[in-house]
Chain A
């Protein structure tokens, strides 16, 4: 049974050169293209200088690219086995942030490892997908309806989400809950159960409201009426819209964005980098970037359905959904569609942990592709 558990079936193991040959180089190219857009925007954010952001980001991308390729050629079955361990490590790091996290940006999000500042909440986004993919891999379709079986995955999602929210990091908590929810949906959880959850969530909203920090409340309120307080909490949202809108069709040109360079735009190198892109490159640039992301998403779906294992399919879809949530929450936020929450634009925003975890996620996606024919058994599965 233990043998069949990790059975390769009729297929033989791929050799290393074969694996490297199998890596989806088109996706690598696409990811690198997005990263290059990021370098350009960071270069512009520093008023046409490589320092302080672009140069560091390039170095990080180099490291992250290596990590991605290594992750891609590591056997998918290893990731299957390691899923819960990775989740456990991410969870412990999250607890550690609570205990001895340094204060950064007004929120406890970082662990200072000396060389790198680690942001466990970012890691948790990938770790949760891994854990859920493994969990649902092992639940057969007839059992999915049993409410008791859902307790463990609900805890897997909500406990870290609550911890992240307490940091406070509304954006990441939102991503965890939404990403987890999509995984539940993909796993086959009945729709009416979501309805119950959403209703319960609605009932909980007033209670959650009481736990929100004043600045979070202010952001939610100003989202509803951003022009009400243009110098106060609505400032970010309004300035971002002004910058995007003033970009027009073709934008103001590279390095020519007035609003971002005159510092009217806050956090232009991190969460609001899309704003600067839209200001300098206009509608054409903004749509082109969204198109690039859409191509990556299509790759994700394609990879998911080439996989022969449920774990692979769920993991690929989870990572794809995760990427989508990053992109959607970030761009919708800077365009004033949703409140300002701290979610970076993947591969473009300046930031080490986000870059590493996103690339780690792409590595997993590629691993699913490289090992698409790997069969991952289930306890109790007779057929290999």
Chain B
């Protein structure tokens, strides 16, 4: 049973169609990436899942039932537009959000303290939100999203504004939650994170799903025509007839072969002029698939 399911959902604002006939589903224990260029309809889709806006047509099911507001108590939502009460103390704020999700004040307080230790912000609990850095505020919002132990976690651009250390901490936490059986959906522009974290993706463009499925399966459908070469010596092999495009970063070359390009022939040519440490035929990255699919219009 999918935790969240969109079936033929369409939403239009005035003349602009934000989301058109979008269908997707996410199961428990699955990390799902919702991708697309700016204005593609990612936030509109998420807002409909959260009941903030209502679809013009189609259906949204949460936890196996048609959408109802009570189900939102089991959903944790981190919107793209972050927001906290600036004058409120961090602990009060977390307790308030916990209570809004149905927890008692005591339970809410206990969980807020536990989570703040886990996210390394215990020292900030007594401070007002406005006194904290943006990254710290993001961690507080992250806790507010998760402290009621939701079955579905929806995060719109969760890693934006985080330094690498905190981004790793958040990635680790999300992977732990996934292992606990939570369904996680997040939208991002960071393809490296999608590749690292997501099992499945849905790439939308102009409100329509243009690519969807398991990351592994999607990548498998693309030809392995990329070569990574690490070498020492002459780089003259990079002008081979087998190569369509090549980037050379001082001994590390990223090569795209011509449609009929022969990787074995290229390896021989390279070995003839340089010492080869690595010669790997790789599948295209998600970023390349993304750019290719949306016609280079992405803002990633």
Whether A and B are associated in the same complex: the answer reads no
Interface residues of B (CB under 8 A from A): none
